[in-house]
Amino acid sequence: MIFKRALSRELTSTAGAVFTILFTIAITVRPIKILGMAASGKVDPNDVFTLIGFAALNLLPIIIVLTGFITVLMVITRSYQDSEMVVWFASGVSLTDWIVPILRFAMPLFVLTAIMAFFVTPWATKNSVEYTDRFEQRSDIARVSPGKFQESASRERVFFVEGVTGDLSKVRNIFVNTVQNERHSVVIAKEGEIVVDKYGDKFLIMNKGHRYDGAPNETNFQMMEFDRYGVLVDDDTKTMITETKAESLTMSELLADTNPINMGELLWRISLPLMLLLLMMLGVPLGYVNPRSGRSANFLLALFLCVFYYNMVLVSQAWVKQVKVSLSMAWWPVHMGCLLLIVALFAWRLNVNNRFHPLQVWALLFRKKIKIQPPSANPASGT
């Protein structure tokens, strides 16, 4: 009873610290990409904090999985390092007695990971895609920020406006640079407004301005002055279809359309909670460390196995998407291999005193190798 309470308390405190560190790292790195997208005009600067929140929700399942694995690994390693494990073993606590308390601690994390993977993450991805696509589908003038040069979606125009009205339909002090066939067309006007014709095409109608046409480093520039000039901004013939990604589909939508892309996404969502349980169990035998030596060796091995496990899940997902294997044959082999590895490592640690155990065989060979032979008789000494 004391063992279970102490273990539960230490797992909880360690998990809180590990989660805080991992979440801080993730939430610090991810906004850099979103801020870069906002600076390049791919997302609305006003939506930056919302998109950061959606990105944090997308990363939470992976963070929870890593939190569970690192927590168990650190707790077991500390017990060996501080010789506390020897006390538990001497008290009759076997290494297998750690399984039930760790599984009990893992069940809330398992449920939370499943909820995040099956429901919350798709919702966050869907909203993130909608925010991004909504900004991409806005007209060129609507995407312009006052006082800032902005490239159009077609990358053929550069806009600059000094001011925009609240409804985004009227602008003042306009600069438009259009590049077509290596020739520049610069239009400068005092004011303008968005007008939609009967066909649904949007035009920027500028008043009282000048237009300059020509190529760089050439003298054949054409200049004209106008009272009213129209530039096609957007046409209604473009079908604005928001790309629906498999990551943003709900579970019912994934199961309703069993195409390879959706089945690959379903495999990933199923794998996340399973990875949590198996990695936490894998951390028990991997936490062994010799108290007289450092703890880097077991951490490096654990890191390698975790990365390998993660990559194999991604490989299985890619095979399903590429129709190389069906979902029913792809979702379980990697997890079964991890489970067999856990059983093998537990058996290896529990039977360490067996003479056929690799450590015992290695120690026996090592002792034979360094064994000092008695000095042989020297004929010249007469002995």
Q: Do 254 and 228 share a structural domain?
A: no
Average pLDDT, the chain: 78
Q: What is the pLDDT of residue 366?
A: 54
Tens-digit pLDDT profile for residues 24-71: 888 887 777 777 777 766 677 777 888 888 888 999 999 999 999 999
Closest CA to 165 of 152, 174, 156: 174
pLDDT class of 243 with cuts at 50, 70, 90? very low
Three-state DSSP at 44 gives coil
Tens-digit pLDDT profile for residues 324-379: 999 888 889 999 999 999 988 888 877 655 554 555 555 555 554 434 333 334 44
Q: Please state the domain count of the chain.
A: 2
d(CA 129, CA 152) in angstroms, rounded, equals 20
Query: 187 lies in a domain?
Result: yes
d(CA 319, CA 56) in angstroms, rounded, equals 28
Q: What is the pLDDT of residue 375?
A: 37
Q: What are phi and psi of 42, to 5 degrees?
A: -85, -25
The whole-model pTM stands at: 0.68
Which of 210, 234, 258 is a domain's end point?
234
Q: Do 205 and 113 share a structural domain?
A: no
Rounded-to-5 percentages of helix, strand, coil across the chain:
60, 15, 25
Query: 227 lies in a domain?
Result: yes
Q: What are phi and psi of 310, to 5 degrees?
A: -60, -45
**Per-residue tokens: 303:** 């890191």
Q: Do 252 and 110 share a structural domain?
A: yes
Query: 157 lies in a domain?
Result: yes
State the DSSP string of 68-120: HHHHHHHHHHHHHHTTHHHHHHHTT--GGGGHHHHHHHHHHHHHHHHHIIIII
Closest CA to 75 of 172, 146, 8, 144: 8
Contact criterion met (CB below 8 Å) for 197 and 203 = yes
Q: Do 219 and 316 share a structural domain?
A: no
Q: Do 252 and 225 share a structural domain?
A: no
Tens-digit pLDDT profile for residues 298-336: 788 888 999 999 999 999 999 998 889 998 888 899 999
Residue of higher predicted confidence among 89 and 316: 316
Domain holding 167, by residue range, is 150-234
Query: 78 lies in a domain?
Result: yes
Q: What is the pLDDT of residue 248?
A: 85
**Per-residue tokens: 93:** 């606590």
Q: Do 250 and 229 share a structural domain?
A: no
Residue of higher predicted confidence among 320 and 243: 320
Q: Do 15 and 130 share a structural domain?
A: yes
Query: 211 lies in a domain?
Result: yes
Closest CA to 192 of 175, 213, 180, 177: 175
Q: Do 256 and 206 share a structural domain?
A: no
**Per-residue tokens: 322:** 């590429």
Query: 372 lies in a domain?
Result: no
Q: Do 227 and 254 share a structural domain?
A: no
Q: What is the pLDDT of residue 15?
A: 92
DSSP 353: T
Say which range, 140-144, 226-230, 249-253, has the weakest mean pLDDT.
140-144
Contact criterion met (CB below 8 Å) for 275 and 307 = no
Query: 376 lies in a domain?
Result: no
Q: Do 347 and 260 share a structural domain?
A: yes
Which of 234, 260, 282 is a domain's end point?
234
d(CA 347, CA 324) in angstroms, rounded, equals 35
Distances in Å between the Cα of 46 and the Cα atoms of 34, 38, 294 are 12, 9, 49
Mean pLDDT of 121-129: 88
pLDDT class of 199 with cuts at 50, 70, 90? low
d(CA 227, CA 206) in angstroms, rounded, equals 8
CB count in 10 Å sphere of residue 320: 25
d(CA 358, CA 205) in angstroms, rounded, equals 82
Q: What is the pLDDT of residue 204?
A: 73
SS3 string, 114-129, reads HHHHHHHHHHHHHHHH
Q: Do 259 and 194 share a structural domain?
A: no
Q: What is the pLDDT of residue 280?
A: 94
Q: What is the pLDDT of residue 154?
A: 63
pLDDT value at 188 more than 80: yes
Three-state DSSP at 185 gives strand
d(CA 193, CA 172) in angstroms, rounded, equals 9
Which of 234, 263, 296 is a domain's end point?
234
- Which amino acid belongs to residue 279? L
**Per-residue tokens: 359:** 């450590």
Say which range, 23-32, 79-88, 211-220, 283-292, has the weakest mean pLDDT.
211-220
Query: 300 lies in a domain?
Result: yes
pLDDT value at 271 more than 90: yes
Q: Do 27 and 98 share a structural domain?
A: yes
Mean pLDDT of 3-30: 87
